[in-house]
Structure 1
Amino acid sequence: MLAPLFTPLKCEPALNPTTLFIADLHLSAARPDITAAFMRFMQQEAVHAEALYVLGDLFEFSIGDDEPSTLNDEVAAAFKACVAQGTPVYFIHGNRDFMVGRRFAKQANVRLLPEHKVIDLYGEPTLIMHGDTLCIDDAGYQRYRRITRWGWLQWLFLRLPLRFRMNIADGIRSKSAQSKEDKVMQVMDVNQAEVVRQMQRYKVKTLIHGHTHRPNIHTLALKEQAAKRIVLGDWYTQGSVLVVTPQGCDLQSRQLLREGEA
């Protein structure tokens, strides 16, 4: 007998149950406005939620948990404080922060999840992921993704001096920006057939992901049954938060903070 494809994550009942999802913040020292908005979100909203799911690309780039970073420490502290107040935080790696490891997870008291995970979201089995695995039309990126996930290659990378790793990260960012300019938008979006395949594989009618920076709630049919794909937005010009309750879901925006605002 085959083992089940998933183990649902169930939350304890709450008075006003709310589960939050965010992705693609791309936090960096160069964008303190995004960091400030994230911190406000953690302090004013996440602490009141039943659970918080971070679906990848929390950081603009990660070169390993040993990176000396005040920003990383502040983010870890925010997560730890949130968990201490009763809100568990779950993290799925993105294409920019896949080097976030157990050391950061322990420091932040967050739980690392596999790249595809089905959760029990108020009685609805829901597939969550970063979303880059759905973009199979971008063959070059998928090849890069497979290579960078090789365990032995990551092991070697983490043993390079920090300066070398930073230089490599800068080069990857530059090449990624150029690559996006050269590609048509359709290639970088999800492949609809792959969306259907994954949803049928995991036997779900709801999928939540980020990566494409195209926030929307899409409806589709799976074997003549209504289904939906919810895409989280990035935090470049405004925050993007998916708020889910037993009554439904709402994809909301959040204003970024200007310098001096609290």
Structure 2
Amino acid sequence: MREPAALPGLHALQAGADWRCVDLLSDLHLQADLPRTAAAFHRYLQHTPADAVLILGDLFEVWVGDDAADAGFEAQCAQWLHEAAQRRWIGFMAGNRDFLVGPEFLARCGLHALPDPTVLAFGTQRLLLTHGDALCIDDVEYQQFRAQVRSPEWQTRFLAQPLAERRKIAAHLRQASEQKKRNEGLESYADVDDTSARRWLEDAEAATLIHGHTHRPASHRLGADKSRHVLSDWDLDNAASGHPQRAEVLRLTQQGMTRVDLALAAPA
């Protein structure tokens, strides 16, 4: 049996005194060729009643450096986020697709960095937040790749290359990932290891884990007193291919949590 993952440090986030409603979302994979999904995110930012929005990774399909937001689709997304951040607190946690989002982009948008993992103290609730990829320990190949690209040395070398070259490398990696999905199917990808999830919760002195990454939205019991809740991915552009139309947030209030399906309100 594989050794469960250890909790890699811990950041604490105390909810603001005025926070009555907190939204959590992840895995939007925003990109220019998925316009309905991007438009749904823009509408969401304009109309959500949440006092705080916590984005737990993979907001973008790919991020090759903060200079990518100087023009085009990324610049438009930056403007949406900047406008929304004037009205509410927005936190951003890096995912496996957008781990190169840096302080320049966060400052430009008015976003607050959320280290992975973070414990959110919200009223009487203590919730452990993570993107989720670090807990998929059975995918040994991915964990090795993750360790490589998260190293400062690799990131320095990559970001030193011209933007056009970085985009080419990212496009190649995306193509390889999509080919693997077509060949093996999403169900072949490793899920979060429950033993590791329980260990993280115990170490964090929390009872509830919230994460994304796996594109398997559901809630799971982890014994009698612990649970993990998987955030939905977003996709409103691929109905013709049979992909489920999803755009969901997990909404926290003092009364508990509910899943809000924004896909139901999306224009046809």
Tell me if TM exceeds 0.5: yes
- Structure 2 runs not aligned, ≥5 long: 1-8, 236-244
Q: What is residue 11 of structure 1 aligned with on the other side?
A: 16
2:231–2:249 Cα contact (<8 Å) kept: yes
SS at match of 1:226: coil
In the TM superposition, residue 240 of structure 1 has moved relative to its aligned partner by 1.2
Query: Does residue 81 of structure 1 match 2:83?
Result: yes
User: Structure 1 CA distance, aligned partners of 2:186 and 2:29?
Assistant: 22
2:198–2:226 Cα contact (<8 Å) kept: no
Specify whether residues 228 and 120 from structure 1 end up closer, same or farther in structure 2 by C-alpha distance, changes over 3 A only: same
Q: What is residue 205 of structure 1 aligned with on the other side?
A: 207
In the TM superposition, residue 257 of structure 1 has moved relative to its aligned partner by 4.1
- Structure 1 letter corresponding to 2:86: A
Q: TM-score, normalised on structure 1?
A: 0.89
Q: What is residue 33 of structure 1 aligned with on the other side?
A: 36
1:8–1:125 Cα contact (<8 Å) kept: no
In the TM superposition, residue 182 of structure 1 has moved relative to its aligned partner by 3.3
After superposition, the C-alpha distances for 1:137-169 in whole angstroms (9 at most, x for unaligned) are: 000111110000010110111110111111100
Q: What is residue 109 of structure 1 aligned with on the other side?
A: 110
Q: TM-score, normalised on structure 2?
A: 0.87
User: Structure 1 CA distance, aligned partners of 2:10 and 2:66?
Assistant: 30
Query: Does residue 232 of structure 1 match 2:231?
Result: yes
User: Structure 2 CA distance, aligned partners of 1:97 and 1:182?
Assistant: 23
Among the aligned pairs, what percent are the same residue?
35
Specify whether residues 30 and 187 from structure 1 end up closer, same or farther in structure 2 by C-alpha distance, changes over 3 A only: closer
2:10–2:117 Cα contact (<8 Å) kept: no
- Structure 2 letter corresponding to 1:230: H
Number of residues of Structure 1 aligned to a counterpart in Structure 2: 248
1:246 to 240, 251, 254: 254
1:27–1:35 Cα contact (<8 Å) kept: yes
User: Structure 1 CA distance, aligned partners of 2:219 and 2:45?
Assistant: 24
SS at match of 1:49: coil
SS at match of 2:219: strand
In the TM superposition, residue 184 of structure 1 has moved relative to its aligned partner by 7.3
- Structure 1 runs not aligned, ≥5 long: none
In the TM superposition, residue 122 of structure 1 has moved relative to its aligned partner by 2.2
SS at match of 2:229: strand
User: Structure 2 CA distance, aligned partners of 1:174 and 1:77?
Assistant: 28
Q: What is residue 93 of structure 1 aligned with on the other side?
A: 94
2:11–2:115 Cα contact (<8 Å) kept: no
- Structure 2 letter corresponding to 1:61: V
Specify whether residues 38 and 204 from structure 1 end up closer, same or farther in structure 2 by C-alpha distance, changes over 3 A only: same
Q: What is residue 64 of structure 1 aligned with on the other side?
A: 65
User: What CA RMSD, in Å, does the superposition of the two structures yield over aligned residues?
Assistant: 1.8
User: Structure 2 CA distance, aligned partners of 1:8 and 1:173?
Assistant: 33
User: Structure 1 CA distance, aligned partners of 2:98 and 2:71?
Assistant: 14
Specify whether residues 212 and 184 from structure 1 end up closer, same or farther in structure 2 by C-alpha distance, changes over 3 A only: closer
- Structure 2 letter corresponding to 1:234: D
2:194–2:222 Cα contact (<8 Å) kept: no
SS at match of 2:251: strand
Q: What is residue 24 of structure 2 aligned with on the other side?
A: 21
User: Structure 2 CA distance, aligned partners of 1:69 and 1:29?
Assistant: 12
User: Structure 1 CA distance, aligned partners of 2:138 and 2:189?
Assistant: 5
- Structure 1 letter corresponding to 2:211: H
User: Structure 1 CA distance, aligned partners of 2:95 and 2:178?
Assistant: 16
User: Structure 1 CA distance, aligned partners of 2:234 and 2:43?
Assistant: 13
